[in-house]
Amino acid sequence: MNGLGGLNKSPEGVVIGLVQLQLPVVVTKADLARQTERIVHMVGKARRNLGTMDLVVFPEYSLHGLSMDTNPAIMCSLDGPEVAAFKKACIDNKIWGCFSIMEFNPDGNPYNSGLIIDDQGEIKLYYRKFHPWIPVEPWEPGDVGIPVVEGPKGTKIALIICHDGMFPEMARECAYKGAEIMIRTAGYTAPIRESWRFTNQANAFQNLMITANVCMCGSDGSFDSMGEGMIVNFDGSIIAHGTTGRADEIITAEVRPDLVREARIHWGVENNIYQLWHRGYVAVKGGAMDCPYTFMQDMVAGTFRLPWEDQVKVTDGTSCGFPVPTRVFGAKAAKAAE
């Protein structure tokens, strides 16, 4: 199903390229402009590298690096020059692109945002990271949901970012909303390598969904990102995997969303995304259509609480040098509704 990395493209295939981008150091606006140019260049490389490619994916932090700098001077906006350059690159190279920005937030900490731009330069997907990697990351928790959009050849695509993928609920939400391909971009470093691999596979298999996953790569003098571009089929098998850690390598493969749709309809054994709501349908008509999970009920009721809640030691970002927050999530929206 790989088609030799997308060289041999089938009529139903979608070819994805995952850019293991060299980890940059970005401190000033000039640095930001240079890194924007670097990403634009790599969009062109992706097109020249493989004429059959439909979608090129850049990792989280590909524009800003891993400094966690929230300096407003280097934050981005959807109507800023960085996003405009990405749009033009997609138009010029006739390719869809997935990009990462740290987005200015006038009401709090910046958002860690992801964009999918089509080959006409239109933003088709806009997502704010739900689960910043705490206590390390200072980003505001996402508040725009988990969108699923129609991508190349009509395939349904979702985007999650890095730590999001450690929560099985994130992949389940993507699949529940129809995603056939889930992209996961990341800036992870080597200690997370094994967790990265098995969650990418589990997210695919548990939801009969293709996952396309990529990290930053190389060293910035302080951190070492691992690359690990990884495309996983809906049965959990790895289609392509960048294991060499070579910076700026583009890991490519053809995927078949039509076979995802076929499996979701025809599989009996391990059709878990369906069976979650139809458990035991051999014994009872239609299966048990209930919510037996206490944690789900408690989240909806606003009473979610772990048995060891009071013993958790790290509950803010002070261990990583961030001040104790004072704002409550959703406070501005609640005030506006009064």
pLDDT value of residue 330: 82
Q: Which two three-digit tokens encode residue 138?
A: 């200072």
Half-sphere exposure of 323 (CA within 13 A, CB side): 4
247, pLDDT greater than 70: yes
Angle, to 10 degrees, between the axis of helix 81-93 and the axis of helix 29-49? 10
Q: Specify the residue for token string 């997907």.
A: 125
User: What are the extents of the domains in the chain?
Assistant: 3-275, 294-337
Q: Specify the residue for token string 């059959």.
A: 52
Distances (CA, A) of 98 to 107, 126, 159, 269: 26, 10, 9, 34
pLDDT value of residue 336: 45
> Phi-psi region for residue 168, left (φ > 0), alpha (ψ -120 to 50) or beta?
alpha
Give mean pLDDT, residues 119-130. Answer: 98
Give the residue numbers annotated as catalytic, written as ranges.
60, 129, 162
* pLDDT tens-digit map of 38-74: 999 999 999 999 999 999 999 999 999 999 999 999 9
Q: Which CATH number applies to 3-275: 3.40.50.2300, 3.60.110.10, 1.20.120.1200, 3.40.50.1860? A: 3.60.110.10
Q: Specify the residue for token string 């919510």.
A: 291
pLDDT value of residue 333: 52
49 exposed, middle or buried (CB, 10 Å; 0-12, 13-18, 19+)? middle
Give mean pLDDT, residues 260-280. Answer: 97
pTM strictly above 0.75: yes
Give the pLDDT band (50/70/90) at residue 334: low
* pLDDT tens-digit map of 192-236: 999 999 999 999 999 999 999 999 999 999 999 999 999 999 999
